[in-house]
Structure 1
Amino acid sequence: MKLLTDFLPIILFFVAYRIHGIYTATEVLIVAAILLMAWQWWRRGRVETMTWVSTLLILTFGGLTLYFHNDTFIKIKPSILYVLFAAALLFTHWREEPLLQRLMGGQLPAALPLSFWRRLNGYWIAFFLFGAVLNLIVAYAFSTGIWVDFKLFGMLAITVIFVLFQAVVISRALPQEAKDGDSSA
């Protein structure tokens, strides 16, 4: 359910683009992002940091797109978001607890070494920087229609492949007991 709600603004953006074009799609994206924030607040009593940041960027770059009637602003928004994510991960990379460890640590065994978390953190930094550059290439080298398709389908596919890669990396790093389901209990 969370995945659907997180992707709903992008899906609505895609549909609105296909029906009415980039400016209506941008308006729909702005409204959808605000509604997602409201839904998170209503459902959980708080709004996730990622939603705050994404919505702020959507409001800023979507607003600039509409004000100047220039789709370049909305096209660069994903790259800026990816760079911000990479910067946040990089900022904590050499600390005692990298950001990724804080975000995922409770879901994995505590015995994983710091070197593992730094490597995983580094993979995510590289992924976000790759996504930022790739988005800019598609935004500037191709039509808006291709960029919209890429934004929904291309980045989704790339993200799924990357997450599967991460699952393999994580599974190889898990202690044998965690892989076996800790049969001593």
Structure 2
Amino acid sequence: MAHEPSTGKTISPALKAVLEFGPIVAFFVTYMKIKDDSFLIHGVEYSGFVLATAAFIPLIVISTLLLWRLTGRLAPMQIATLVLVVVFGGLSVWLNDPKFFKMKPTIIYLLFSGLLFYGLWRDKPWLKLVMEGSLPMRHAGWVILTRRLALLFLGLAIANEVIWRTMSEEAWVNFKTFGLTGLMFVFFMAQGGLIKTYGIDKDATGDGE
């Protein structure tokens, strides 16, 4: 099976990591510095969390635009994340209510879980469209990986709801900064057996189906 050549540009992994994870690290550092403070702005009192959120929004907009400018493309999840950060983060700042920003991971994980399950229902593992160029696998492998990732997204959405509703604000910030990223990393590291079983040799001829 022939694949369309990628139109994206290549940037260094270090720069890519800075652009992708820099804003959330900055949010974490800012929050930890001002979490116990309150700020009076134009007669309205804002918590450190809300001000950290206000600083996070332009940072992720700038980093996403830079990533798009440098690579020529954005993944669907990056676009959805940007939109939801602006919408829900903006609501938290505008209404001075942290809960909207805390709900953002729930919404995005439910969205992607639903899309992946819908694709599986149509026998179209849409994860394949995003990752096939860098991870050639047989169709059955993509079905399994897509199902697992859809279940992971669903589990993360539930976990986010439980944590922000029942635990401290600082616990949620730690979960968002380290927990979500760490769980995604562990998930993909754990798929080595699946990739070994269903992977296709790039040098092999044919489509490997």
The TM-score normalised by the length of structure 2 is: 0.77
In the alignment, residue 121 of structure 2 is paired with which amino acid?
W
Q: Name structure 2 gaps, 5 residues minimum.
A: 1-13, 35-47, 205-209
Kept after mapping to 1: 8 A contact 2:20/2:64: no
The answer to whether 1:105 aligns with 2:156 is no
Structure 2 counterpart of 1:9: 23
Q: Name structure 1 gaps, 5 residues minimum.
A: none
Q: For residues 47-126 of structure 1, what are the structure 2 equivalents within 5 Å?
A: 47-109=74-136, 112=138, 114-126=139-151
Secondary structure, in 3 states, of the residue corresponding to 1:55? helix
**Match among 133, 140, 145 for residue 165 of structure 2:** 140
- The count of corresponding residues between Structure 1 and Structure 2 is 177
Q: Deviations over 1:69-112 (max 9, x none)?
A: 111111110111111111221221133541111112222345x1
RMSD: 2.0
Identity %: 31
Deviating 4+ runs (over 6 angstroms)? none
**Structure number having the greater helix percentage:** 1
Q: Tell me how far apart the structure 2 counterparts of residues 108 and 140 of structure 1 sit (CA, whole Å).
A: 37
Structure 1 counterpart of 2:186: 161
Q: 1:165 to 1:15 in 2, by over 3 A?
A: same
Q: 1:109 to 1:57 in 2, by over 3 A?
A: closer
Q: 1:41 to 1:173 in 2, by over 3 A?
A: closer
What's the CA shift for 1:19?
Answer: 1.4
The TM-score normalised by the length of structure 1 is: 0.86
Q: 1:46 to 1:116 in 2, by over 3 A?
A: closer
Larger CA Rg, structure 1 vs 2? 2
Q: 1:46 to 1:77 in 2, by over 3 A?
A: same
Q: Tell me how far apart the structure 2 counterparts of residues 120 and 47 of structure 1 sit (CA, whole Å).
A: 22
Q: Tell me how far apart the structure 1 counterparts of residues 69 and 166 of structure 2 sit (CA, whole Å).
A: 41
Structure 1 counterpart of 2:4: none
Q: 1:161 to 1:35 in 2, by over 3 A?
A: same
Kept after mapping to 2: 8 A contact 1:41/1:47: yes
Secondary structure, in 3 states, of the residue corresponding to 1:70? coil
Q: Tell me how far apart the structure 2 counterparts of residues 171 and 36 of structure 1 sit (CA, whole Å).
A: 34
Q: Tell me how far apart the structure 2 counterparts of residues 46 and 118 of structure 1 sit (CA, whole Å).
A: 25
In the alignment, residue 142 of structure 1 is paired with which amino acid?
M
